[in-house]
Structure 1
Amino acid sequence: MKDDTQMTYRPFETIEAGRTSRWLVTCDHATNLVPVSVNGGDLGIAPEDMARHIAWDPGAAGVAQRLAQVLNAPLTMTRFSRLVIDPNRGADDPTLVMRLYDGTVIPANRGIDDAEIERRLDAFWRPYDAELARLVTRRPDTVFVSVHSFTPRLNGRGDRPWQIGILHAADDRLARPLIDRLRREPDLCVGENEPYGGHLPGDAVDRHAIAHGVPNVLIELRNDVIATKEDQDAWADRLAPILEEALAETGL
């Protein structure tokens, strides 16, 4: 998706007014938008590739928006594709700007130099990072929930059976009771650190939650189960009370 409103462009969107709960909901890969300041708004790949999981997390923004509404939680979401620069990576991560992803070469990134990476850090990554930092510290008992989605399969790989995966690192104070509670749902296949393992050093949850002792969880939903607005709302409505139950169990 190309952004044609550069005069009003912001690299993130925050919905906060009147939302007072301790929950904070984030969506790092909310859109496949490419701002016009990046190669004229075109990364050089086909529209069908820009619609794939390589460019964003399909369905995740809709779930995050509804979940934040039900939890009365502030929400912040990116307004740039993960292929522009990935806000869920550390600033020094070698996959910060992907040149090849799941079999697709990204022409506008293939020959990227350090100066352009630094420009994208300043234009996109750092403003969103600063917004996360502000929102996490708005109250001392914040609980950090990051919403993502994953593809049912990567090219050349097997099917992924989980409808939902809960990611955590050593800090599993919220993740553990959440996983246990979700596994009591008879219709769900629940992954623990699936389809990915834990957190990468310097990723968004690590930077803004784990590093500061903030209770946290990263929720991954398989994108075919959240393909429509109705699906997204239904999952959010289902998850909100389960999250509240899991948090109550922790005593945090």
Structure 2
Amino acid sequence: MPKAFTSAASPDTAVFETRPGSLESGLILICDHASNAMPSDYGDLGLPQSEFERHIGYDIGVRDLTLLLAERFDAPAVMTTYSRLLIDPNRGEDDPTLVMRLSDGAVVPGNARVDEAERSARLQRFHKPYHAEIDRLIDVHLEAGRVPALLSVHSYTPVWRSVPRPWHAGVLWDRDPRFPVALLEALKEDAELVVGDNEPYDGCLKNDCMYRHGTVRGLPHALLEVRQDLIGERKGVEAWADRLTPILQRLLRLQELHRIEHFGSRADSRV
């Protein structure tokens, strides 16, 4: 499948890429798996390039979709510049899947002997600066008296373990219903769409990106998943931006999306 791709900053020079935007938008876009690039000193982790072109390397189509939405709303966006195979910025620092040794059948030789020191080094160099940048943008908004809504953009494979996934898109969330429920309802107004509510994944993951920046800080947040075959080419990216633009324009006018409220997390109550 052809991939929607625009050149990103190199992880040798920057571990995140920020698209500046206006505080007036009321929106911060986040893209955890924007790139499949590797810093030169890590090489290819012992994998062929074809593995980095798969979903295990990055989320296909999401960087282009994030940038197009950011442009339309003049909203700030933060995107990674490195492959999730190096370290996954959507995982908490204590998550055992932070550095994957095996991903969808692919053994990752360069991760096989990652010890605590190397794990810590990757956290310090790649993971922490990305999240610090998200925190910085949030702080800029709050210091200006504006509470932003957070939208994290992801994509997923159309088939998983030989089973086709019926959803065109999914909205993942935990306990804060303000943004995700409104987004779900708006997407479901299109009779041609099959939309997953916490499908194909559950939005409750302790210490993940949305937990850290949305749940803990009491900010309205939602994670949008779009099926990769629908945004694998530029035409599909533009079609989804066209679909999302009027929806987000309407939702961002809701007062509840610009208040701090703490709903807690389902993850906090799990043993």
TM bracket (short chain): over 0.9
**Displacement of 1:37 after TM fit?**
2.5
Is 1:60 aligned to residue 62 of structure 2?
yes
Asked if the contact 2:230–2:236 (Cα under 8 Å) also holds between the matched residues in 1, the reply is yes
Question: Among 130, 140, 150, which residue is 1:144 paired with?
Answer: 150
Distance 1:61 1:180, change over 3 A: same
Match of 1:246 in 2: 251
Is 1:195 aligned to residue 197 of structure 2?
no
- Secondary structure in 1 matching 2:41: coil
Asked if the contact 2:10–2:37 (Cα under 8 Å) also holds between the matched residues in 1, the reply is no
**Counterpart code for 1:213:** G
Question: Among 107, 112, 115, which residue is 1:113 paired with?
Answer: 115
Unaligned 5+ residue runs, structure 1? Answer: none
Question: Among 69, 73, 77, which residue is 2:75 paired with?
Answer: 73
Distance 1:213 1:81, change over 3 A: same
Aligned length: 246
Asked if the contact 2:214–2:221 (Cα under 8 Å) also holds between the matched residues in 1, the reply is yes
Please list, as runs of the form range in 1=range in 2, the aligned pairs for 1:172-211 lying within 5 A after superposition.
Answer: 172-211=177-216
Deviations 1:142-177 (A, max 9, x none): 1100000001122x3411011110000011111111
- Secondary structure in 1 matching 2:239: helix
Match of 2:44 in 1: 42
**Displacement of 1:249 after TM fit?**
4.6
**Displacement of 1:5 after TM fit?**
6.2
Question: How much is the aligned-residue C-alpha RMSD, in angstroms?
Answer: 1.8
**Counterpart code for 1:146:** S
CA separation in 2, counterparts of 1:237 and 1:116?
43
CA separation in 2, counterparts of 1:243 and 1:171?
17
Match of 2:35 in 1: 31
Asked if the contact 1:27–1:148 (Cα under 8 Å) also holds between the matched residues in 2, the reply is yes
Identical aligned pairs, as a percentage?
43
**Displacement of 1:247 after TM fit?**
3.6
Asked if the contact 2:21–2:70 (Cα under 8 Å) also holds between the matched residues in 1, the reply is no
Q: When the two structures are superposed, what TM-score results if normalisation uses the length of structure 1?
A: 0.93
- Secondary structure in 1 matching 2:176: coil
CA separation in 2, counterparts of 1:244 and 1:4?
29
Deviations 1:171-191 (A, max 9, x none): 111111111111110111100
**Counterpart code for 2:32:** D
Q: When the two structures are superposed, what TM-score results if normalisation uses the length of structure 2?
A: 0.86
CA separation in 1, counterparts of 2:9 and 2:239?
32
Distance 1:4 1:71, change over 3 A: closer
Deviations 1:173-221 (A, max 9, x none): 1111111111110111100101001131100111011111100110000
Asked if the contact 1:174–1:250 (Cα under 8 Å) also holds between the matched residues in 2, the reply is no
Match of 1:226 in 2: 231
